[in-house]
Amino acid sequence: MEYKSLGRTGLQVSRLCLGTMNFGPQTSEPDSFAIMDQAFEQGINFFDTANRYGMMFADGNTSQLHHGLTEEIIGRWLVQNKKRDQIVLATKVFGKMNDGINDRGLSAYHIRKACEDSLRRLQSDHIDLYQMHHIERTTPWDEIWQAMEQLVREGKVIYVGSSNFAGWDIATAQCTAQERHFIGLVSEQSKYSLETRMIELEVIPACRHYGVGLIPYSPLAGGLLGGVLRKVSEGRRASSHMEKQIEAHRPQLEAYESICQELGEEPSHIALAWLLRNPVVTAPIIGPRTVDQLSGSLRALEITLSDETMQRLDQIWTGPGGEAPNAYAW
């Protein structure tokens, strides 16, 4: 396993981050335990979750599903395996957790309560990376940072990160934190893949400028970059949403999967290897539903894409054309 500093911090995390959103709704607790066991054995020390996880994308009977379930599963695994001090544990705050008017957002009131609730579910006395799951521009940054600073002073939070922030949100957050003599954001979790490259305009430049590590989620574009054409040709059914995505991107997918076949690598592994080539990227988030899917993802760490291959991939998945303003101005 390879490791890299989380942004400008001295904290070392694995180059792949274990995403846990499937734990509970899609993956049973025993299977979730097996995935975490395997991840830890393979050197993955970076686990990502959120207080909202537990009901998302649930199918069938949802009577046993609830917000916070995923954190509860992770908490039981941490207690059973006694590995808390060897895991960099990340969770998130923002989304609506209950029906109370203040049971959401980034008010100091909600941040404090949400942190306490996550600690209880995770059966931990601290959160290594506490991430704001989304931007909320109605709460002043002085209030947000005061709440986060208090949690850091109490030892309940070690580092603070963001998710789904715009480039100017990162800049505003960091400038305000600097005025308060606080470290501010150390990471940003954004949707990023070969197919979804909008953050190259301003988020990635902001992360690089402020020393904020980038943690891409949905690195396979919801499965689109996972060899979907081959899977369909083998008779596997695709959802109606995926079928629409395939038709919208068929020429690109044909060219992409052809390159992957030429390289003798799985498309999902090439997609991850492409992200790992970006020096701003700390660790793409992989969200395996099975142990086999987890084991396969590790192959990406062994792939080194040539400059020629990177150029060919850029020709297929063109992105926004570079960084702002050069992407659209002289």
Active-site residues, by number, are 53
H-assigned helices in the chain: 29-41, 69-81, 108-122, 141-153, 167-179, 203-210, 228-233, 240-263, 267-276, 291-297, 307-316
Burial call 297-315: b when 16+ CB within 10 Å, e when fewer: bbebbebebeeebeeebee
Q: Specify burial of residue 220 (Cβ count, 10 A radius: 0-12, 13-18, 19+).
A: buried
* Closest C-alpha to 219, from 172, 281, 152: 281
Angle at 78 (CA atoms; ends 93, 61), nearest 5 degrees? 65
Q: Are 89 and 124 in contact (CB under 8 A)?
A: yes
